[in-house]
């Protein structure tokens, strides 16, 4: 009876998708991502290296509308190359390949920011279900399921030691009126935050180093973020 009630209210859809995404994909690739980024950095020393951005940036559009080609979603996002492949035997498949794409994001000053980024692909399932009459899945239910998917995935990853500091979830609601570079601005906000986090770590390291004579006030980085796009608040989900 409880199972039937859960099926009718569709409470288990997003929860199951989040766990499947974690167990069947993220738990496999995220612990190996740093090594792939390090290998890429060694072979491409010309590209700037900010270790705090050496993560898989996972896009979570609450509309569940996913582009197969990120370059078509936003012209300020350009494909660069593939990172080192992860090859494993999985579920009877010999040499199953997992790989991530590296992109260059162009900011307002035409500077390039490099990162590994991709959509949370289970959202495609939620979108497809809302298009299938037999699934009886309304747009409103899809939005609630997308929020539940995000909250569940966030909690799972927070409790995962293997995946710690190897990902960043970027959840967002697209504006009602189309904005040409909305997605790149969303990603750039997170990349800048990660960059500031790395600077803060370096500053603390220098501040505690006996060899430095810099005053803590001099190490303080004063950057205004008033002109940066704001992240999606998820505390109300």
226 in a structural domain: no
220 in a structural domain: no
Q: What is the tens place of the pLDDT at every residue in 20-31?
A: 999 999 999 999
Per-residue pLDDT for the chain (237 aa), expressed as one digit of tens each? Answer: 444 444 455 557 899 999 999 999 999 999 999 888 888 888 877 765 667 788 999 999 999 999 999 999 999 999 999 988 888 888 899 999 999 999 999 999 999 999 999 999 999 998 888 876 665 677 888 899 999 999 999 999 999 999 999 999 999 998 887 788 999 999 999 999 988 887 766 666 656 544 443 343 443 433 344 444 455 544 444
Q: Which domain holds residue 90?
A: 30-176+184-201
Q: Is the pTM of this model over 0.75?
A: yes
Q: What is the number of domains present in the chain?
A: 1
232 in a structural domain: no
Q: What is the tens place of the pLDDT at every residue in 50-92?
A: 677 889 999 999 999 999 999 999 999 999 999 888 888 888 9
114 in a structural domain: yes
Q: What is the CATH number of the domain that holds 46?
A: 3.40.50.12100
82 in a structural domain: yes
Query: Any bridge partners for residue 116, and if so which?
Result: 56, 102
For residue 51, give Cα distances in angstroms to 33, 121, 167, 171, 213.
12, 25, 12, 22, 26
Query: Any bridge partners for residue 88, and if so which?
Result: 96
231 in a structural domain: no
What letter does residue 136 receive in the DSSP assignment?
Answer: T
138 in a structural domain: yes
227 in a structural domain: no
Q: How many CB atoms lie within 10 A of CB 83?
A: 20
Residues whose CB falls within 8 Å of the CB of residue 188, separated by 6 or more in sequence, listed in order: 105, 107, 113, 228, 229
d(CA 58, CA 61): 10
For tokens 């899945």, name the residue: 137
d(CA 81, CA 99): 11
């Amino acid at each position: 009876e409880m199972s039937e009630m859960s099926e009718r209210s569709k409470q288990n859809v997003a929860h199951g998708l989040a766990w499947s995404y974690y167990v069947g994909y993220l738990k496999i690739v995220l612990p190996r991502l740093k090594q792939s980024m390090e290998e890429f950095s060694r072979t491409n020393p010309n590209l700037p290296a900010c270790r705090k951005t050496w993560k898989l940036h996972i896009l979570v559009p609450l509309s569940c509308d996913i582009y197969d080609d990120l370059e078509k979603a936003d012209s300020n996002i350009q494909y660069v190359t593939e990172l080192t492949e992860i090859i494993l035997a999985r579920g009877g498949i010999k040499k199953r390949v997992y790989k991530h794409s590296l992109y260059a994001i162009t900011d307002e000053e035409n500077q390039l920011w490099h990162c590994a980024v991709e959509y949370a692909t289970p959202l495609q399932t939620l979108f497809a279900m809302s298009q299938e009459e037999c699934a009886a899945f309304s747009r409103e239910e899809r939005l609630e399921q997308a929020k539940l998917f995000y909250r569940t995935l966030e909690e799972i990853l927070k409790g995962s030691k293997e995946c710690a500091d190897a990902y960043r979830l970027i959840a967002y609601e697209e504006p009602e009126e189309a904005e040409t570079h909305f997605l790149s601005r969303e990603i750039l906000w997170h990349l800048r935050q990660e960059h500031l986090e790395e600077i803060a770590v370096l500053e603390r390291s220098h501040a505690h180093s006996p060899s430095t004579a810099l005053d803590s006030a001099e190490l303080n980085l004063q950057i205004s973020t008033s002109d940066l796009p704001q992240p999606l608040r998820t505390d109300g989900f």
